[in-house]
Amino acid sequence: MRPDPTLLDHIAIVLVRPKYPENIGAAVRAAWNMGITRIIIVADEYPDHGRMAKMATRNAAHLLDKMEFHQNLAEALQPFSQVVGATARKGKQRIRANSPREVLNRISPLLPENQIAFLFGPEDSGLSNEDLQFCQLLSAIPTADFSSLNLAQAVAIHCYEIYHALIHEPKDIVQTPKLASSFELENMYSVISNTLLKVDLLDYGNQNYYMRKIRHFFGRIEVKSGEAKMIGSICRQFRLHASRKERTNREDSKAEP
C-alpha cells in the first residue's frame, strides 16, 4: 500500500483538562513532527498562549492558532466515529486496553471514511470513567515498570505509531464504511437508556452499570450511521407502545365500577 498523507487529516489529538500549558505546547510539537495538525483542547478556560508557544517552538506554534477549544467533551467529540482513550489505569469497569500498535491495526481500515480522536486526560489523574464512556477503544503504552508517562511523551508515542502505521510502513487494508459519529451514538444511547427505564428493564440505581455494558457492546460491533438511527427508531416505538398501554390501563381502571 502506498502512503497516503491525507489520512493523517482524519486524526485528532484531544487533550482533556490539561493542567500545564507547557505540556500542551510540547504535545503540539510532537504531533506536528508526525504530520498531525488537528489539536483539540477541552477545558474550562483557554490555556495561556505564551506558555504553550514556548514549548511548541516556532516550528509548530502555528498549530496553536487553529487549535480547537471546547468546554464540553461530548461537544468536542461529535464529529468522530471512533474515540481512542489513552490510559494507564485499569479497572473492572473499563474495557481492555491494547497497545498503540494494536489500536492502529484496528482503526487503520476505518480512516478513509471516518474521523478518529485520540483522547488524553489530565497529567495528575488521567481520563475519568465519565471521559472513557465516549471511547470505543483504550490504548495503554507498554512499559517496563513505572507506567506513568508525561502527557507530551504519551502523545508523542501515539503520534509516532500513527505515522508509522499510515506513512512509514503502510499495510494493505480492507476499507470499511462510515460509522456513526459520536453525536449519533450519544443520541442513540440516550434513547436506549430512556426506553429501558420506561419499560422497567432498568432503574435509576443500576442505570449506569448496564449502560456501560451496552456502550461496550456497541463499541465492539462498530455501529454505522443508519444502524444507530434504526436502533433509535425501534426504541422510540417501544416507548410509544408502552405509553399507549399505560394510557389504556388507566382508562380501563377508571371504567371499572
pTM value?
Answer: 0.87
Cell 504531533 locates to: 31
Range of the domain at 224: 182-255
Which of the listed residues 134, 168, 202 is the one where a domain comes to its end? 168
Give the residue-averaged pLDDT of 207-223.
89
Q: What CATH number did the domain enclosing 11 receive?
A: 3.40.1280.10
**What pLDDT, on a 0 to 100 scale, did the predictor assign at position 232?**
92
pLDDT band for position 125 (cuts 50, 70, 90): confident
Which of 85, 95, 108 shows the shortest CA–CA distance to 174?
108
- The DSSP secondary-structure symbol of 200 reads T
The reply to whether 207 and 145 lie within a common domain is: no
Q: CB of 58 within 8 A of CB of 95?
A: no
The reply to whether 118 and 238 lie within a common domain is: no
Which of 176, 173, 101, 184 shows the shortest CA–CA distance to 137?
101
pLDDT tens digit string along 77-113? 999 999 999 987 665 555 678 999 999 999 999 999 9
Which of the listed residues 117, 146, 168 is the one where a domain comes to its end? 168
**What pLDDT, on a 0 to 100 scale, did the predictor assign at position 160?**
97
Mean pLDDT over the full length of the chain:
89
Q: Per the structure, how many domains does the chain have?
A: 2
Give the residue-averaged pLDDT of 198-203.
78
**What pLDDT, on a 0 to 100 scale, did the predictor assign at position 250?**
65
Could you tell me which residues are beta bridge partners of residue 119? 14, 85
Cα 182 to the chain's mean position, in Å?
A: 7
**What pLDDT, on a 0 to 100 scale, did the predictor assign at position 122?**
93
The reply to whether 133 and 204 lie within a common domain is: no
pLDDT tens digit string along 152-176? 999 999 999 999 999 988 887 777 8
Examine residue 130 and state whether it is found in any structural domain, yes or no.
yes
- ∠ CA 60-47-29 to the nearest 5 degrees? 20
- Cα–Cα distance between 153 and 26 in angstroms, integer? 9
